[in-house]
């Protein structure tokens, strides 16, 4: 089809508002995916995504659609639905001219809706408002449309009412994609520029790159050059996504497709990079490329020291597929050999941990996540510290800076008070409050990222009965009065339990942490002191009394199966223990600092 008949679009929505369901229906109605091959939610194809109901990796699909006897090519580019991946969201939006803005008509505008709309507006996208779930008895499309007009300032008189689930309004959506979203600019004569909006590692073919041709065209066999990574390759295979990969010889301006070029690691062809021809290079790369900067770090240690080489292999393999994952060896006297790993955020961290355990069969101890502190040393050096146990001694540092985030919370008005308390407890600085409708308010705070890592989101949800939503973005480093809190168990320092806390909170955290550890560490045959210290000063201490632990004595008679069960249970409990000196410390203890009352 000519470039004037191409439409590139994405779907933006708050989680659970129906993005995946709608995408499925668009694929069905255009005959792109037949009913019988339709697994539910075709676009979210990683197991983990399916289980968690989130979209992690972007995918794309090409659809054919005929309107008034004219064939159109519609490219749907899926976007991940979590703040950890907002850079990926912004690059996938940059590959489009328009966006369907899906809002659940029984819920209304949420924090992610807003964040995604801002990104779409920054990328100059034509936005088509869609009110989904009108089949629900509680749907109020008119009220929600007014809300969208008020909050976003978007004309919603032409908003489409639909039910992705029941298949209502789908054709109308396809028609408006054609009539309202502009075609790509025809820059077919310019040197090639293609925007990478996704890439993944295939063990047989190397990295598969998903891209949008922004200028010029690309042919199979072309020698190509990646402008950010500086690497060059031959495009062995190019093709379209329909939605399965289908080889073609050439892709023209405006088109969306994939290529493979025996690329060894996704870091060489990262999201946001620009592909051009090696021989006829574009003068400048497409805007918006950013290096991946991990915001959250933790230690990963194999429970069984023999698994260290396997852990390294597994991390290397995952990194081929994940340019944002960083790791380096870490040794600790308490934990032995392991790795310090960097992630974009908590969800990213959990995904990597889960994959290491599921796909690589590793049993790991994970230490509590830490942000990256910037330490101004007495000798004038500035160092980045992502491992609390390595923080320079007080005499060797002048000040510590920590990363701050701006968060926007949307909440029904009755919970404003409890969210303000939450903001206060987490060292937040109140910035703004606005009523976005009569009943709902937006609260803006700036607070340390360290205070958000952990249970902030759970707290937000539980304090508002699940009704509030939030979004955050990094705003920069600020100086704070921080100290290092160390933990000793049975007289031995346990470095992985060290944390960096605000000076005013040290006593409270120390007390809560020692109490929590006392609950979590199983009693042993001897008495165990548990202490929290700042410097050489003990600020809190507990003691775990001794016990004679004989599980089997609880069994009466010779009930073999029950005995087995008990033994099995005990063995499972052991699985995630790490011997620190003479004391067995369970996984939960290493995360205790995140769950203090």
Enumerate the known binding-site residues for GTP.
13-20, 78-82, 132-135
* Cα angle for residues 335, 399, 300 (degrees, 5° grid): 20
CB of 278 to Mg ion, least distance (A): 38
Give me the residues paired with residue 537 across strands: 534
- Side-chain half-sphere exposure of 437, counting CA atoms within 13 A: 19
**Which one of Mg ion, ligand GDP, none is in contact with 480 (Cβ closer than 5 to 8 A by kind)?**
none
> Which among 259, 257, 233 has a CA at the least distance from the CA of 243?
257
Helices (H) and strands (E) in the chain, counts: 14, 34
Select 129 or 448, whichever has its Cβ closest to ligand GDP.
129
Q: What is the nearest approach in angstroms of ligand GDP to the Cβ of residue 185?
A: 30
CB 195 within 8 A of CB 274: yes
Would you say 8 or 20 has its CB closer to Mg ion?
20
User: Which residues define the annotated binding site?
Assistant: 13-20, 78-82, 132-135
Please, is 515 exposed, middle or buried when counting C-beta atoms within 10 Å of its C-beta (0-12, 13-18, 19+)?
middle
Which one of ligand GDP, Mg ion, none is in contact with 370 (Cβ closer than 5 to 8 A by kind)?
none
Residue with tokens 């989101």: 457
Place of tokens 């396997």: 310
What is the CB-side half-sphere exposure of residue 490 using CA atoms within 13 A?
17
* Touching ligand GDP, residues 125-154 (CB under 6 A): 132-133, 135-136
Nearer to ligand GDP, 135 or 588 (CB): 135
**Residue, CB closest to Mg ion:** 20
Map the footprint of ligand GDP across residues 45-74, applying CB under 6 A.
53
Of these partners, ligand GDP, Mg ion, none, which one is at the site of residue 132 (CB under 5 to 8 Å by kind)? ligand GDP
SS (H, E, C) 356-389: HHHHHCCCEEECCCEECEEEEECCCCEEEECCHH
Q: How many residues bind ligand GDP (CB under 6 A)?
A: 17
Token output for 463:
């304090």
- What minimum distance in Å lies between the beta carbon of 536 and ligand GDP? 51
Q: Of residues 77-96, which lie at the interface with ligand GDP (CB under 6 A)? A: 81
What residues numbered 359-388 form the site for ligand GDP, per CB under 6 A? none
Nearer to ligand GDP, 102 or 298 (CB): 102
- Indicate the residue among 20 and 132 with the shorter CB distance to Mg ion: 20
- CB nearer ligand GDP, residue 146 or residue 165: 165
Contact in structure between 411 and 467 (CB atoms under 8 Å) = yes
- Give which of Mg ion, ligand GDP, none residue 135 binds (C-beta under 5 to 8 Å, depending on kind): ligand GDP
Q: How far is CA 17 from the centre of its chain?
A: 18
CB of 362 to Mg ion, least distance (A): 28
DSSP track, 432-447: EEEESSSSEEEEEEEE
Tokens encoding 45 = 């194809």
Question: x/- binding map, residues 323-362, to Mg ion, per CB under 5 A?
Answer: ----------------------------------------
User: In whole angstroms, how close is the CB of 102 to ligand GDP at the nearest point?
Assistant: 7
Closest to 458 in 3D by CA, of 504, 426, 434 = 426
Instruction: Pick out residues in 150-189 that bind ligand GDP (CB under 6 A).
Output: 163-165
What's the burial of 576, exposed, middle or buried (CB within 10 Å: 0-12/13-18/19+)? middle
Rounded to the nearest whole angstrom, what is the least distance from the CB of residue 173 to ligand GDP in the complex? 12
Site string for ligand GDP, 8-37 (x = CB under 6 A): -----x-xxxxxxx----------------
- As given in the structure block, the two tokens for residue 323 are 């340019």
- Least Å distance, CB 44 to Mg ion, is 5
Measured in degrees and rounded to the nearest 5, phi and psi for residue 196 equal: -80, 120
Nearest distance from C-beta of residue 28 to ligand GDP, angstroms: 13
Residues in Cβ contact with 525 at an 8 Å cutoff, skipping those fewer than 6 apart: 546, 547, 548, 549
3-state secondary structure of 282: coil
Distance separating alpha carbons of residues 53 and 57, to the nearest angstrom: 12
The nearer residue to Mg ion, 55 or 107, going by C-beta atoms, is 55
Touching Mg ion, residues 11-70 (CB under 5 A):
20, 55
**Residue ranges in contact with ligand GDP by CB under 6 A:** 13, 15-21, 53, 81, 132-133, 135-136, 163-165
Binding site for Mg ion (CB under 5 A): 20, 55
């Amino acid at each position: 089809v000519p470039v004037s008949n191409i439409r590139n679009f994405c779907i933006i929505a708050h989680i659970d508002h129906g993005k995946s369901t709608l995408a499925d229906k668009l694929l069905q109605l255009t005959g792109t995916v037949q009913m019988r091959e339709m697994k539910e939610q075709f676009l979210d194809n990683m197991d983990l995504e399916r289980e968690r109901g989130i979209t992690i990796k972007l995918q794309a699909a090409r659809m054919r659609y005929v309107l008034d006897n004219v064939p159109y090519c519609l490219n749907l580019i899926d976007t991940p639905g979590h703040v950890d991946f907002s850079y990926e969201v912004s690059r996938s939006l940059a590959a489009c001219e328009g966006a369907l803005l899906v809002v659940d008509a029984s819920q209304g505008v949420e924090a992610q809706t807003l964040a995604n709309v801002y990104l779409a507006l920054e990328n100059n996208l034509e936005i088509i408002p869609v009110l989904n779930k009108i089949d629900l008895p509680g749907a109020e499309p008119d009220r929600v449309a007014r809300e969208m007009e008020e909050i976003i300032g978007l004309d919603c008189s032409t908003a489409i009412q639909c039910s992705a689930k029941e298949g209502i309004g789908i054709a109308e959506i396809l028609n408006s994609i054609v009539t309202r979203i502009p075609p790509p600019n025809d820059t077919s004569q310019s040197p090639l520029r293609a925007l990478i909006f996704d890439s993944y590692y295939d063990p047989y073919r190397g990295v598969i790159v998903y891209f949008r041709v922004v200028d010029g065209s690309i042919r199979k066999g072309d020698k190509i050059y990646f402008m950010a990574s500086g690497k060059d390759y031959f495009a062995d295979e190019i093709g379209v996504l329909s939605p399965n990969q289908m080889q073609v010889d050439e892709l023209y301006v405006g088109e969306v497709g994939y290529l493979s070029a025996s690329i060894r690691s996704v870091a060489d062809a990262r999201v946001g990079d620009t592909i051009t021809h090696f021989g006829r290079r574009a003068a400048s790369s497409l805007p918006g490329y950013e290096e991946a900067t991990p915001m959250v770090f933790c230690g990963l240690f194999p429970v069984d020291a023999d698994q260290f080489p396997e852990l390294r292999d597994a991390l290397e393999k995952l990194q081929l597929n994940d340019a944002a994952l960083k790791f380096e060896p870490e040794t600790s006297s308490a934990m032995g050999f392991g790795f310090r790993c960097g992630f974009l955020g908590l969800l990213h961290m959990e995904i990597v941990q889960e994959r290491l355990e599921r796909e690589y069969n590793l049993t790991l101890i994970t230490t509590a996540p830490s942000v990256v502190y910037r330490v101004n040393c007495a000798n004038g050096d500035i160092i980045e510290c992502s491992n609390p146990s390595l923080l320079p001694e007080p005499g060797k540092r002048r000040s510590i800076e920590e990363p701050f985030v701006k968060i926007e919370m949307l909440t029904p008005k009755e919970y404003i008070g409890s969210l303000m308390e939450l903001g206060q407890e987490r060292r937040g600085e109140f910035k703004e409050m606005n009523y976005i409708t009569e009943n709902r308010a937006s609260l803006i705070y700036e607070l340390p990222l360290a205070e958000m890592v952990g249970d902030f989101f759970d707290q937000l949800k539980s304090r508002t009965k699940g009704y509030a939503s939030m979004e955050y973005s990094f705003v920069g480093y600020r100086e704070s009065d921080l100290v290092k809190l160390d933990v000793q168990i049975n007289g031995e320092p346990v470095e992985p339990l060290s944390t960096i806390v605000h000076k005013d909170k040290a006593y409270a955290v120390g007390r809560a942490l020692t109490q929590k550890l006392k609950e979590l560490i199983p009693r042993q045959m001897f008495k165990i002191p548990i202490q929290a210290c700042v410097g050489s000063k003990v600020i809190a201490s507990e003691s775990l009394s001794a016990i004679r632990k004989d599980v089997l004595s609880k069994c009466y008679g010779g009930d073999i199966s029950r005995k087995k069960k008990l033994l099995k249970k005990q063995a499972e409990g052991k699985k995630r223990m790490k011997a620190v000196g003479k004391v067995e410390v369970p996984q939960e203890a290493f995360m205790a600092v995140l769950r203090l009352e």
